[in-house]
Amino acid sequence: MSKAFINHFLLFIVLLVGIILSLSLGSVSIPFQDILKSLFGLSIENSTWDYIIVNYRLPKTITAILIGSGLAVSGLLMQTLFRNPLAGPYVLGLSSGASLGVAFLIMGASLLSGFFGEFLFSKWAIILSASGGSLVVMLAVLSTAQRVKDTMTLLIIGLMVASLTSAIVSVLAYFSSSNELQLYIFWSFGSLGNLSWQEVGILSICWFIGLSFAIFCLKNLNALLLGENYAKSMGVQLKKNRILIIVSTSILAGSATALAGPIAFVGLAVPHLVRQLVPTNDHRILLPSIILGGAILMLFCDIIAQLPGSESTLPINAVTSIFGAPVVIWLLLRKRKLNF
């Protein structure tokens, strides 16, 4: 039995524990046997418990798994593409593009009234605006990727796009009302618990499409670790491969941001945390571990954010940042220590 299989098995067991805890813990205490009955479609005495499990906790758990694993895979792709341990899924400006779309929607909605004004404040309008903002940035990055030969240039352009969109959001915020600012800030906190089954289905489709692109790039990712010149000598089509990686990252990270808001540090931290358990650079082994690790981290962060036994909840973006920031600090100190 290989070490990689054992590591994957251990991660899968931890994931199952996280799923059980996510379904069991919350502001309402529900017996575990009733949770199992509800999941298998059996009737339970308290219909309210059944509604909570089927329409709130189960979609939230699935959402945490999909978003956590999707962001983690996006982070792995970006770190490999740019050969930079501090690159994350939002380094190309996707999150900033989504934030700009939502900012335009929320802070410009006061100009409209009636039906359109009510629609603009709906959840679907926010999802569409965030998707539109991410799509615009993705198209701009794809257009740039076809023109430049150096991935470092692409990285700098992505960072500049993020800075530009953040500046525009700041200008909009300066001229907006307190209610509009509050609504925008609440969206920026991120949330895993507001998705319906229909939205979970859309997220699942995006997850499968984005992951399919990532799997298609696996062999080329191993070659990229040794540099673009080596990858080119091995027959890798750099521009085509770069576009596939960007499309995969955009779908995975863009759909997560559109449906759950910006969630920081998961894509940056998980690849490094998983490499401590699975010390390999072979992406064929890393990818399953990254998927499991991202899902585990997001599940446990969401459990902490729910403050089990309390009616209050913490912003998921804040909880992931609390876990992710120390990892970034550790990376910077380690990089300085090793002098590279």
Nearest to 73 by CA among 206, 228, 189: 206
Rounded Cα distance, 252 and 256, in Å = 6
Where do the H-state alpha helices sit in the chain? 3-24, 32-39, 47-52, 58-82, 94-108, 114-120, 123-145, 151-174, 178-189, 197-216, 218-224, 228-233, 238-260, 266-277, 283-305, 316-338
pLDDT for the residue numbered 338: 41
CA–CA distance from 75 to each of 34, 113, 152, 273, 316 (Å)? 38, 41, 16, 12, 18
Q: Which helix (H) or strand (E) holds 207?
A: helix 197-216
pLDDT of amino acid 340: 35
| 278 Cβ neighbours under 8 A, 6+ residues apart | 4, 7, 285, 286, 289
Task: Give the model's pLDDT for residue 117.
Answer: 52
* Distance from C-alpha of 152 to C-alpha of 319, rounded to nearest angstrom: 31
Tell me which CATH code domain 2-338 carries. Answer: 1.10.3470.10
Q: What size, in residues, is the chain?
A: 340
CA dihedral (255, 257, 259, 263) positive or negative: positive
Per-domain residue ranges of the chain: 2-338
The DSSP secondary-structure symbol of 110 reads G
- Residue 248 · residue 94 · CB < 8 Å: no
| pLDDT at site 71 | 94
pLDDT digits (tens, 9 = 90+) for 44-68: 777 788 888 888 899 999 999 999 9
Residues with pLDDT less than 50, the chain: 114-116, 337-340
Identify the residue whose tokens are 């489709």. Answer: 205
Residue 92 to residues 122, 127, 136, 285, 310: CA-CA distances in angstroms? 28, 20, 12, 26, 38
Residue 186 CB partners (closer than 8 Å, separation 6+): none
What are the tens digits of pLDDT across the range 186-214?
888 888 888 889 999 999 999 999 999 99
